[in-house]
């Protein structure tokens, strides 16, 4: 079975939404946990460097990869419990995230509507704790199943074990690369409460004169906003936000606000302040600008776009130039958000 599973020298340009050219020395598409077990049992396994690939929508390929790419294509989705206070829904890691969100809404299980149209897979969602329009995935997460790639052991992680943070989890930190997530279970609370506190969502609903939105109305509003502000990755190569919104100390914020009173900011529970990276980048004059084949999207300065034929080094060159500008003008360090390989 392993001989049929393993492919050599596989191009990855169609498997990353930035459309970057790179090749994997070894490649295997995983549709069942049993296939993974067969690979882990191979004698060569421990000598191969591994990389787990989902939808490739939060990934920058900086060059060819000399190891084994494990492309997660595990499917399946079902209601596993209809409890008094929640619907418990489970999905295979390879399921498309947006299709999964739409399916839950069609079934009458609301709760994920604010996360509509986020590219990528269900299995990648916990890795960076996807979030948008006033909701983070962590708030709807119950548990995930994973395989430890060093031992082959199957492990369940609850919310605490995942150590979710802003665009962060244990899978981006010390557990990075060690586990392959096979399925995720969500807890969608009853009764459902609409989340419309994000200004863009509130104004979109107001424009449509919807005072009492259904979950589908919110999904449609989010889809409309995303379609206006973010490039469609099937048409223009991109990975969504390229940098995290930086979180600075209160004292740093006060110093910045004195010079830039209109700086958008979000107070954090711990006294620190989150700044809008898109605004900082725009103020440095980068919005709509191009450096070689990579550009800064004209509707959202936090998004870098492939103008055609970009390579990993072109993306890094523009990202570095933006980081230097923001550092020079504001003294703030921008941290890239996607995974770099």
Q: Distance between CA atoms of 289 and 287, rounded to whole angstroms?
A: 5
Q: Distance between CA atoms of 74 and 62, rounded to whole angstroms?
A: 26
Q: Assess 245 for contact with ligand EPU (CB under 6 A).
A: yes
Please compute, for residue 176, the number of CA atoms within 13 A of its CA located in the half-sphere on the CB side: 9
Q: Which of 92, 287, 310, 339 binds ligand EPU (CB under 6 A)?
A: 287
Q: Distance between CA atoms of 196 and 204, rounded to whole angstroms?
A: 10
- The maximal CA–CA distance of the chain, rounded, in angstroms, is 64
Active site residue 283: no
Q: Which of 301, 305, 310, 334 binds ligand EPU (CB under 6 A)?
A: 301
Active site residue 337: yes
Q: Which of 104, 121, 129, 241 binds ligand EPU (CB under 6 A)?
A: 241
Active site residue 241: yes
Q: Distance between CA atoms of 114 and 125, rounded to whole angstroms?
A: 14
Q: Assess 264 for contact with ligand EPU (CB under 6 A).
A: yes
Candidate ranges 34-42, 180-188, 246-254, 300-308; the one touching ligand EPU (CB under 6 A)? 300-308
Candidate ranges 18-26, 48-56, 60-68, 295-303; the one touching ligand EPU (CB under 6 A)? 295-303
Q: Are strands 339-340 and 50-53 parallel, antiparallel or unpaired?
A: unpaired
- The residues with which 179 forms a beta bridge, in sequence order, are 148
Q: Assess 98 for contact with ligand EPU (CB under 6 A).
A: no
Q: Assess 172 for contact with ligand EPU (CB under 6 A).
A: no
Q: Assess 279 for contact with ligand EPU (CB under 6 A).
A: yes
The minimum distance between CB 250 and ligand EPU, in angstroms, equals 19
Give CA 44 to chain center in angstroms.
Answer: 31
Candidate ranges 40-48, 101-109, 173-181, 273-281; the one touching ligand EPU (CB under 6 A)? 273-281
Q: Distance between CA atoms of 293 and 311, rounded to whole angstroms?
A: 8
E strands, 137-204, in order: 141-148, 154-158, 179-189
Cβ-based nearer residue to ligand EPU, 71 or 287: 287
CB 55 within 8 A of CB 96: yes
Positions annotated as catalytic residues are 167, 241, 337
Residues making contact with ligand EPU (CB under 6 A): 132-133, 200, 229-230, 240-241, 244-245, 264, 276, 278-279, 282, 287, 300-302, 337
């Amino acid at each position: 079975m392993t001989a049929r599973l393993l492919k050599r020298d596989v191009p990855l340009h169609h498997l990353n939404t930035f459309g970057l050219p790179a090749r994997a020395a070894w490649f295997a598409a995983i549709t069942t946990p049993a296939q993974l077990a067969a690979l882990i049992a191979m004698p060569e396994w421990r000598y191969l460097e591994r990389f787990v690939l989902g939808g490739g929508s939060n990934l920058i390929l900086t060059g060819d990869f000399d190891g084994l790419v494990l492309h997660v294509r595990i499917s399946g989705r079902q209601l596993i419990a209809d409890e008094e206070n929640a619907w418990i829904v489970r999905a295979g890691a390879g399921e498309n995230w947006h299709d999964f969100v739409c399916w839950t809404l069609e079934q009458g299980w609301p709760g994920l509507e604010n996360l509509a149209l986020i590219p990528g897979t269900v299995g990648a969602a916990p890795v960076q704790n996807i979030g948008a329009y006033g909701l983070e995935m962590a708030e709807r997460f119950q548990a995930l199943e994973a395989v430890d790639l060093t031992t082959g052991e199957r492990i369940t992680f609850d919310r605490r074990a995942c150590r979710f943070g802003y665009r962060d989890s244990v899978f981006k930190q010390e557990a990075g690369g060690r586990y392959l997530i096979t399925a995720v279970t969500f807890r969608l609370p009853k009764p459902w409460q609409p989340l419309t506190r994000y200004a863009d969502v509130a104004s979109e609903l107001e424009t449509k004169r919807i005072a009492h939105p259904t979950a589908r109305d919110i999904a449609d509003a989010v889809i409309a906003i995303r379609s206006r502000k973010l490039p469609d990755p099937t048409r223009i190569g991109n990975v969504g936000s390229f940098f995290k919104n930086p979180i600075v100390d209160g004292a740093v914020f006060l110093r910045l606000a004195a010079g830039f009173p209109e700086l958008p900011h979000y107070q954090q529970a711990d006294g620190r302040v989150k700044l809008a990276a898109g605004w900082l980048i725009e103020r440095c004059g980068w919005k709509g600008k191009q450096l070689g084949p990579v550009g800064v999207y004209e509707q959202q300065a936090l998004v870098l776009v492939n103008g055609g034929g970009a390579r990993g080094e072109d993306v890094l060159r523009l990202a570095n130039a933006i980081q230097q500008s923001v550092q020079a003008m504001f003294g703030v360090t921008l941290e890239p958000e996607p995974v770099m390989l």
